[in-house]
Amino acid sequence: MHSEIFHHLDILRIVLVIASTQYQQQFGVNFWPKIIKYVENPLSDNNFSIKYNSVGDDYFFKKVLKAINVKVEEVNNAYSVFRNTNNRGALDSFQNKINIKLKKLAHDFNKLYYVDDETYSFKLSFESERIYFYIMRNGEGMPLNYQSTGFKWFFNLYFNLLVDNELNAGDIIIMDEPATHLHVQGQYELRKFLKEFAIKNDITIVIATHSPFLIDMDYLDELRVVSNCKNMSSVCNDFSTMDLDDPDSLKPIKESLTVKNYILTDPDKKVVFVEGITDYNYMVAFKKYFKRDDIIFLPIKGVGDGKSADIKVKQLEISKRLVAIRKNNPILMVDGDKAGYAMQKANKENSVLEVFTLKDVSADFSEIESLFTTSDAKKVGLLTDSGTTYIKQSNLSAVFKTYTDIEKTLSKTTIANFKKVFDYIENL
C-alpha cells in the first residue's frame, strides 16, 4: 500500500515538473513562484573599502564578485602576481577586466531602479594595499551615506537580495518589519518604491508591519490584518464593511496598530466615503490621474436598499457613525438610486454629513460604472457580453486601479466625466 502511494506521488511529481516546464515555455512565467524572505543588511560607505587580503571574508565584496562571476581566488592571484613582481600593470589589467564586467551589473541596477542605463555606474579600484568600491552618478563619485532614503533602501535591497536572485514574474518577496529604523518620510518613500517595484516587475511583496506609515490609504484592498483569538489566528481583509454594529472600515487596522483616526487620515485632507470597494478603486485610480492627493476616499458597504420601512432610522445611524469617524467636513458619495436619494434626504437637515448623489453631478450618472462610455466600459471589462449589465467585481476594479494607463486607454469623454465628479467634490 505504502509503495503504491509513493509510486503515485512520484508520478504526480513528474507530471508537475513537466507541466511546470511547459507552462514556463508557453507563458514565460514559472509555474511555481520563488518565495524569498528578505533580511536587510544596511550598507554604508564604510563597507566600500577593505584590505586586499580580506576580500574572501567580506560580505559586500563577496556579493559583488559573485554577481559578476569572479572568484575570490582570481583576486588573490592578481595580488600575488603584483606583490611577487611589483608589476603594477598586472593589477591594472585585472582591474580593467573587472570593471568591464561591472557594466552589466550597473545596467541591471539602473533598469530595476527605472533610470537611464548610464545614470549609475560602479567601479572597483585595486590599490597596492586596499580595494575600493565606488558608486558613480553621471560619471561622478557619490557617497552612499548622503543619498536619499529611497535610494539607500534600493541599494541595500539590490546588493542584499536582488544581485543574487533572478526575479521572475509571480515571485514573492517577504519582508518582516522593514521600516523599524526609518523616519516617517523614509517609510513613505519605502512604501512608494516597493509598490512601484512590485508592479513593474510583476512580483508580489508581502510586508508584515506595525507601522501606520506603511499603510497606503489608496490600497486598503491589499491589506490583511492577522489577529489572534484563543490561540487561533485569523485573517481579516474586508475593509469595505459597513453595518450598524461596526461602520468603521478602518477599525481592524487601528486596533492592530493601536492608532487613532488622524494618524491614518490626514485631518487637512477631504475624506469622501463611497459605496463599496469598486467605487473606491475607480475613484482612487482617477485621483492619481488627476493628482488630487488632497482627497482621501474610504469605502463603506452601501447605504441599504431603500425599501425597508425603517430605512431612515438605519441610514441616520450610519450617518451618525460616519460623522464619528470623520468630524471635519465628512462627505458621502452615493449612487443615484432609491437608497442613495433616501440617504441624501435623511441628511438634509441638522446633519454634518454632506451627502451627494452621482446624479447631482450629472443627470447621466447613476452609478460609478456609468461614468465610462460604452466602448470604454467594454474595453476594460465592465460590461457583460450582452452589453446591458455592468460587472461589479472588486478584483476587476483593483486591476484597473493598479495597472490601467488612463491616458492611453480611456476616451476623453470618460476622463471628463470623472473630472466633473472631482470638481463637484472640490466645491463642497
For the ranges 3-7, 56-60, 114-118, 290-294, the lowest mean pLDDT is seen at 3-7
pTM of the full structure = 0.74
Residue 385: phi and psi, rounded to 5, are: -60, -35
Tell me, letter by letter, the H, E, C secondary structure of the chain: CHHHHHHHHHHHHHHHHHHHHHHHHHHCCCCCCCEEEECCCCCCHHHHEEEHHHHHHCHHHHHHHHHCCCCHHHHHHHHHHHHHHCCHHHHHHHHHHHHHHHHHHHHHHHHHCCCCCCCEEEEEEECCCEEEEEEEECCEECCHHHCCHHHHHHHHHHHHHHCCCCCCCCCEEEEECCCCCCCHHHHHHHHHHHHHHHHHHCCEEEEECCCHHHCCHHHHHHCCEEEEECCEEEEECCCCCCCCCCCCCCHHHHHHHCCCHHHHCCCCCEEEEEEHHHHHHHHHHHHHHCCCCCEEEEEECCCCCCCCCCHHHHHHHHHHHHHHHCCCCCEEEECCCHHHHHHHHHCCCCCCCEEEEHHHHCCCCCCHHHHCCHHHHHHCCCECCCCCCECCCHHHHHHHHHHCCHHHHCCHHHHHHHHHHHHHHHCC
Q: What percent of the chain has pLDDT over 70?
A: 81
Mean pLDDT of 244-271: 64
Mean pLDDT of 296-301: 86
pLDDT band at 233; cut points 50, 70, 90: low
Does 199 have pLDDT greater than 60?
A: yes
- Upper half-sphere CA count for residue 224 (Cβ side, 13 Å): 8
The predicted pLDDT at position 142 comes to 95
The predicted pLDDT at position 127 comes to 94
* 332-360 pLDDT tens trace: 999 998 888 988 988 887 788 999 999 99
| The C-alpha cell that represents 283 in the structure block | 475613484
| The C-alpha cell that represents 58 in the structure block | 567580506
Average pLDDT, the chain: 83
Per DSSP bridges, beta strands 172-176 and 204-208 are: parallel
